Structure 1
Amino acid sequence: MELCRRRRRSRCSIISAPGRPGWCGWAISATRTHTPICSSRTAQRSLSLSRWRRGWPSVTRTPPVVRAPRVRRRSMPELAEVEVARRNVAGWWEGEAAAEVRLLDAKVLKKGSARELEEAMLRPLVAMRRRGKYLWAELEGGHAVMFHFRMTGKITCETTPQPRFARLAWRVDKTGWLTFKDSRRLGHVEVLAPGELERYDALLRMGKEPHDITVDELREAASDRRQLKSALLDQGVVAGVGNIAISELFWRLQLPPEVRCGELSQAQWEALVEEMPRYFDEIIARSMADEIAYMNEAGGENIFEVYGRKGEACPRCEEAIERVKVAGRSTYFCPACQPPVNA
């Protein structure tokens, strides 16, 4: 190996002899023409360089390809999952005060102190409330505790206060230990003092629930130029609708994934407003269990018609389900049942 003796500032290159290892343990696996930057090396040299790693039996052997581990996609909790959690927790806790509260992971508490959390949860639960994807406990005296599930959060009923992934636990005499679990630590809890819930910004900006919104209200909130999927994902337009629900609703109504609001007929708007509550009622009924099971996690199963079923046969026409990104999110659809508007 030859190395220019000039100062490093001259930006001279290291020059390797053919078949020799390159610097940092690697050389380029191709033949290339090398033009040294240093003026003292003006002749071009054709260098045949091969990959090399210390300890390999041959300098010409290609190293194995190291692939990044496959990331398993997890679905975000949508209206149906949060409503299942609301009904479960209401049955376990309503009318009772927590007898003991344990904050097992301080990171989960986004607003309020551990003492404020304990003082709030030691009050009797008036009701569990939900708006869109937001869930909170309404406690005596106007206090509230807001739960954000994010990707993998859930509330379960346990016999021990410290099951795996538990971040917060509280004991209810009639039930046992209720735990806020989150394997990825993305969810959080907020303690709201009396009067703060009424000023909670996300709730104030939220649109109507799918069960309450009318055709005129939905059309007015969604701009004609906007893609329908983008409009439905906007919680200010309609609350609680998520990516999974949109794939399923579009398939049921045979709407193309990239359809714009202005391309829908009056009959299609009416069908959408009618189908949304029916869809959520069906998914809630099918999802009722003591614990939310997200897709792609242990115990989770795909209960949907097209979501997450790329390459599988369409339940309606047996054409292969495809996936496309719309509004930055994966949308699953049947190309035969949901052709483009101008097709």
Structure 2
Amino acid sequence: MSSGRTVHPVPSHTTMTDVARVAGVSIKSVSRVINNEPHVSQRLREKVEAAIAELDYVPDTAARSLAGARSFTIGVLFDNPSPNYTMKVLAGAYRACIDNQYHLRIDTLDSFVPEADLRRQVDQILRHSRCDGFILTPPLSDAKVLLDMLEARGVAYSRIAPMLDVDRSMAVMIDDTAAAAAVADLFWARGHRRIGIINGPNTHGAAVNRRRGFMERLLQLDPAILVSEANGGFSFEGGIAAGHELLAARRYPTAIFAANDDSAAGVIVACSQLGLKVPSDVSICGFDDSWIAKSVWPYLTTVHQPIDMMAQYAAQMVLSRVSLNETQRLRQLDFELILRDSVADAS
């Protein structure tokens, strides 16, 4: 008995030509669907995808790269000391690459070198990576030399958490200013009036915005308030040193906001070294909600930002073959203040 359905023999090594034959379309049409090009009709897409499923066809990324100008690789550029942040960015970007059959490349730049040296670093990456585009992470998101060079060579890029000239490119961010203000409100509501902040690098846009949001909100609550400050550089070791600096004062802060979780964990260590208890003596709040927030004790109150989702959106922006409109070029995601055990009422 015949079902009336045409059964196509599956070749031992399925090619794009086989997909085109089964779908009854040209090879060019199959290529347009696989590469997610614009202006492909829904009917054509369904026919090609049905043939791909029937033949269990897996596109050959290497062959696709040789056949056209694209390398089917995007790169992520880092200059960030936080391993927790780095891993979340990679997880999100990798997810977008897998969904689009792309490879992911990782490179690091030192943005603190003289401009001529930075130009040489960027030139080396652009010469040898053959990436179709790049995701820029802070502080590279605001490195003007890097942005200028990418644009001059016509290389697509998106930025995570830029602070300067936000409308210049595709970008994904949260409202760091509002998030830090929420931490200030939390400390104030719990009765803290001697307050400290451990800042990130002043070349890092998000760190600058967090400090501004925190300080401005406290000054709104009490124009005469004095806030103790130290620099932790977004690192665990920097948090320990900054914690010792703030807690050495006779009237040390009863609440400290660290601009990321790594430095907040360092402050917890500094408290332990000085014989102070968290949170009964000192309340501590971090930022990021990385894995370290639940690897320390007490568990860390922190601001959750969806770093992996930010990276995934940034990658999708670069991978998009369609020109994004103004609302799609800039995406702001939500944050959440996560209350755990490291913040308590002031003694």
Structure 1 length as normaliser, TM-score? 0.26
Q: Choose between structure 1 and 2: higher strand proportion.
A: 1
Larger relative CO (CA 8 A, sep 6+): 1 or 2? 2
Larger radius of gyration: 1
- Select the structure that is richer in helix: 2
Which TM-score applies when normalising by structure 2? Answer: 0.25
